[in-house]
Structure 1
Amino acid sequence: MNRLRGIGWGRWAAIVVIAVGVGYAPIAMTELWPYAHRGAPAIGQSLLAHVTNPRYVADALATRIKPYQHSLAALVVHSVLGGLLMLLGPLQLLTAVRRRVRLHRTLGVVFAVTVYVCMAGAAVYLLRTAPRDAFSGPAFWIVLATILVGTVFSVTFGIVAAVRRMPEIHQRWMLLCYAFLMTAPLLRFEWGALPVLFPGIPMTQINQIAVMHLGSVVAFGALVASRRLDRRVELPGMGRSWVPWWVLVPAALAGTAALAWLTWSLVSAGGVQNHRLAVGYLVPFAVTAAVMVWRMAVAGREGRTWAREEWGIHLVALCLAPVFSAACVLPFERALHIGHATAVAAGAAIGCGFLAFWATAVVGLRALVASTATTSGLGARGSADLRLRRVGAASHPGH
């Protein structure tokens, strides 16, 4: 018991993530078997029907038969490889922590190739499926497409960071990549848990509520994990902060205005479901913002300038997420021919994840600029020392 108490919250979080990934792997791999062969086992559907009720599951999945048949082979590849990624992610984390460099690199190559092939299968499905035919509607199609792009670019930038020998930035990109992948098991958890809060509503509406905040939740989880693993107090060569008060305050004001508009747009559209969507978006957003402000303040008070900088960059991104979401509404309406409330929900659902991606890119650029400044400073110092030695040698030819 004492040994269990000695385990920090960070290790407990890692244990939970690993357990979720490993536990979800067989569910992902068998999820689409019944669509290929009637009566084939589907572990996930059985568990969900047991936790909720069979009718709740059957009514939702019955509508998937026709859309899935268009891209069944690609979806099977996607689901099987998605399950494999759930296993490879924890292995990558463990080999990195244990400093098994050669094994980590080998598994990293396998992980990256698997991500590309897995996401190619998802891309085939999305290209062959009209947004209106996606599960729970066009907003979910947009969310899936955004997660696909975010996952592919995250692993790509992670590879670039590894090649450039920037392990801390590589680590951030790979954590974000795995966080995007974790939206799949977390969504299944919400399918089972949210009916307790909203009894009697179908899974399609539960899905709409869940995707309003999944992007922000997983991106925030990746940020917390990154900060947990990076213990550096200062970043050599960082210089002045990129997020002074005159950047934070306008971002917060713009974000507040956009957040108010998004909320008003959902609530004024009428209907209980739109009110649920607004709550599903606002509550996690407010909690995430509060934690970021708190951690940024604590880091500043303790003199941990690099931690404060990273929290600040992500806080600015979170503030600008509603602005980006609001800017997406009109293009979604025009391009996909969807209603205003649906476009607002879709924009809100992808905003936090999209801006977290760019915040990670800015953090990487911040580290690269600091590293370049440090290298330039050392080079200039070395050149000056060399010139001094040459002058000294010329002044004292007898030595």
Structure 2
Amino acid sequence: MRRAGLTVLGCLVVAYLPLAATSLWFTVLPGFPRWQVELDERLGGHAYAWGDGSLAAVRTLAYADHRVALLIHTSLGSLALLLVLVQGVLRRSRAGHRWIGRAYLAAVTGSMLACVVFLLRAPHVDLPGQTAFRLQLWLLAASTLGTAAAARSAIRRGDVAAHRAWIGLNVCFLSTAPLLRAMWSALGALVPQHTLLTNMEASAVTLAVVAPAAGALLALRGDARPGRAARSPKAGTRWLLVATAAGGAAAIGLCVRTGAGPGSYPWFHVVPVLGYAAACAVLAARRSGPDLRRRDARRLLLGAAAAPWCAVLVGLGTARFLGPEEACRAGLLLAPGFPIVGALALVLHRRSAPSTRTVDPAVAPGRRTAPDDGSLLGHGTRSAHRQSIP
């Protein structure tokens, strides 16, 4: 499973580096090829890549005016993803693990701060969906910085399991950039009647669910404690699945009523939410595997069930300020991650309780080198002696 994850991440990095780099070098070297736009043109046609409603049409001037911030953002983000791959290969080198982790933290921080600079200075695009999308970029930058800080705090406490979980979520958030590019290009071939900005927004709606959900499932997979026998009431799981489906129907109804996006727009939210809920339900119902993992899966399922309802509530609550259509888009782009990440935080909090927490035997009081624990930000375990295990 770990090898498969590294392979997928490697493919993303290899594809993202040339596309992201060449999409901005034209601002420094006029006439430099823009491979991302050329790929969009090949898949979706000239109007899709260059016409009204394309990224090239509405953002070229902003990219040129703020090229330094964007070049720093894309370069450091690509470097951070590359360091994840190096960390996966060199995970048994404790000294290398620690320094690579610090370099990763620095790259992520620099990349997100450059993104914040761009968001502060770049002009607003007065098109449907762009206000909600801009708010999502703010939320993504804050979430990436927050999960990196949480991962660093966890490893300094000696809580390896929490560190792994937060780093996994952080990498999922960071991977949204290459995934977004891949999705809007693919949708150009699959749904050519939509503009690039529409497909980009639909892709962002999907990633608003997929990124936190993938991080939560990675955290669940990483816990292998036997624990005490845990009940897994099937009735409760079924009702949570029903609540998820009902929330998806409510989200579809809100989009139809407000006219937000094309008819397929809400399905980019509903399908991944239902898929995530189904995955949690399967893990909660499995007879094999650790008991506490099944209990944690039910807690994550609660977050999945709440995600579409949060989207609906945000869409209704912000309609007065953003307008009904833009508010509906904001609900789908901003809200799903809160209950999903909140459920994951609850799981990690329960795991860190003294009655359930375990410590890697390599984590010894006073050690300053990172154990072979698969963690990324190897900040040592100077505070491990503060933890007592009954």
1:268 aligns with 2:257: yes
1:11 aligns with 2:6: no
1:157 aligns with 2:150: yes
Q: 1:302 and 1:291 mapped to 2: Cα distance?
A: 15
Q: Which residue is 1:25 aligned to?
A: 17
**Aligned-pair distance for 1:332?**
3.5
Equivalent in 329, 335, 359 of residue 345 of structure 1? 329
What does the per-residue CA deviation read over 1:253-278, in whole Å, with 9 as the maximum and x for residues that have no partner? 6655543332111012347x432111
1:237-316 equivalence runs, <5 A: 255-270=244-259, 273-298=261-286, 301-302=287-288, 304-316=290-302
What does the per-residue CA deviation read over 1:281-321, in whole Å, with 9 as the maximum and x for residues that have no partner? 112221221121112111xx225212212322211111111
What does the per-residue CA deviation read over 1:103-142, in whole Å, with 9 as the maximum and x for residues that have no partner? 1110111111111111011111222245545895112112
Q: 1:168 and 1:106 mapped to 2: Cα distance?
A: 20
1:144 aligns with 2:132: no
Q: Is the 8 A contact 2:283 2:297 kept in 1?
A: yes
Query: Identical aligned pairs, as a percentage?
Result: 26
Specify whether residues 153 and 352 from structure 1 end up closer, same or farther in structure 2 by C-alpha distance, changes over 3 A only. same
1:188 aligns with 2:181: yes
Q: 2:326 and 2:296 mapped to 1: Cα distance?
A: 33
Q: Is the 8 A contact 1:34 1:40 kept in 2?
A: yes
Specify whether residues 330 and 321 from structure 1 end up closer, same or farther in structure 2 by C-alpha distance, changes over 3 A only. same
Q: Which residue is 1:389 aligned to?
A: none
Q: Which residue is 2:85 aligned to?
A: 90
**Aligned-pair distance for 1:240?**
6.7
Q: Is the 8 A contact 2:154 2:162 kept in 1?
A: yes
Q: Is the 8 A contact 2:48 2:188 kept in 1?
A: no
Specify whether residues 374 and 18 from structure 1 end up closer, same or farther in structure 2 by C-alpha distance, changes over 3 A only. closer
Q: 2:127 and 2:103 mapped to 1: Cα distance?
A: 30
Q: 2:17 and 2:222 mapped to 1: Cα distance?
A: 25
Q: Which residue is 1:213 aligned to?
A: 206
**Aligned-pair distance for 1:370?**
4.1
5+ long unaligned stretches in structure 1: 1-8, 382-399
Task: State the SS of the aligned residue for 1:102.
Answer: helix
**Aligned-pair distance for 1:40?**
2.2
Moved more, 10-19 or 311-320: 10-19
Q: Greater relative contact order (Cα 8 A, min sep 6): structure 1 or 2?
A: 2
What does the per-residue CA deviation read over 1:11-51, in whole Å, with 9 as the maximum and x for residues that have no partner? 33431222212331232233222234321233333333333
Equivalent in 72, 79, 93 of residue 100 of structure 1? 93
Equivalent in 337, 343, 346 of residue 362 of structure 1? 346
Amino acid at match of 1:85: A
Q: Which has the higher helix share?
A: 1
* TM-score normalised by length of structure 1: 0.80
Moved more, 101-110 or 308-317: 308-317
